[in-house]
Structure 1
Amino acid sequence: MKEQLYNQLVSQAQSLVSGEHDLIANMANISALLFNQLEDVNWAGFYLYKEEQLVLGPFQGQPACIRIPMGKGVCGTSAETRTVQRIADVHQFKGHIACDAASNSEIVIPLVLNNELVGVLDIDSPIHDRFSEEDEVGLVKIANILMESQQ
């Protein structure tokens, strides 16, 4: 079921960024796509790597933390280590930054272009253990599509 959903989302993401190289515009459309198509999600968006920290980019959902230090919280950890962070219960994550108290699980995908950190894709859910390996695989594909639009 999720595989079919992500096949559709990948196709839609490719269509949205096709021929467009503006990163902010593409991030805005991708965040809207994910927020509106994924179930049980209360925030979907991006943080951009600027001046040795993460700065809020395009998103859908409640107002969010504007700046996140590298290595802090789920987003800062993903950015610093350049690894996907799939967290079943954010309240058990050491150093979690609670931008929205309703969030209980989170997945963060690092965005890397030509070995340079661009930022992260961050998705939150009010449901514990919301994000599966299938979600991770699908979201990594979508993040890669976004990065390929910049080349």
Structure 2
Amino acid sequence: MSDYPRLARQLEALLDSRDWLTNAAQTCAFIMQEIPDLNWAGFYLQRRAETLILGPFQGKPACNPIPFSKGVCGGAARTRQTQRVDDVHSIADHIACDAASRSELVIPIVVDGALWGVLDLDSPRPARFTRDDQTGIEHLVATFIAASDFSG
């Protein structure tokens, strides 16, 4: 089990730039290094209406673009609610970028009331993400948001 309060403090110290792009890249690398059993960690950004566009990530090449109407990432963007999926193969419209992925956690990122994007985490282990993981990683997302300037 990860020590999320410690990880949040470490991430806060790491994010010494207000630049959202730098902070997004650092956040992905940090999560991939510190959270066990992940095979992908990255951001999808809302840069077009009802569509997520690939942003900074760690892992294998990814699917792009993702419409809000499809997949776990699209569901998180559409509903603005975290999606925690124990078995991605049970989701009819799951977008399989990496066949090794078995579970997924997607956290919407809302800045000033508008959807900015999502943080997507994939694991090759079924049911990898617990409620505690969800809460802890949502806190890491809040740390990323607080450290970043999204105006530019």
TM-score scaled to structure 2, two decimals? Answer: 0.94
8 Å contact 1:88–1:104 — kept in the other structure? yes
Task: Name the % identity.
Answer: 46
Residue 47 of structure 2 corresponds to residue 50 of structure 1: yes
Residue 35 of structure 2 corresponds to residue 38 of structure 1: yes
Amino acid across the alignment from 1:33:
F
8 Å contact 1:71–1:79 — kept in the other structure? no
Q: How far apart are the structure 1 equivalents of 2:116 and 2:145?
A: 9
Question: 1:149 is matched with which residue?
Answer: 147
Amino acid across the alignment from 2:113:
N
Q: How far apart are the structure 2 equivalents of 1:120 and 1:58?
A: 11
Question: What stretches of structure 1 move > 2 A for 4+ residues in a row?
Answer: none
Q: How far apart are the structure 2 equivalents of 1:94 and 1:11?
A: 38
Q: How far apart are the structure 2 equivalents of 1:57 and 1:37?
A: 20
Question: 2:85 is matched with which residue?
Answer: 87
Which runs of 5 or more structure 1 residues have no equivalent in the other structure? none
Q: How far apart are the structure 1 equivalents of 2:97 and 2:61?
A: 8
Root mean square deviation, CA, Å:
1.0
8 Å contact 1:44–1:59 — kept in the other structure? yes
Choose from 13, 18, 30 the match for 1:15.
13
Per-residue deviation, 1:90: 0.2
Per-residue deviation, 1:145: 1.1
Amino acid across the alignment from 2:57:
F
Q: What is the number of residues matched between the two proteins? A: 148
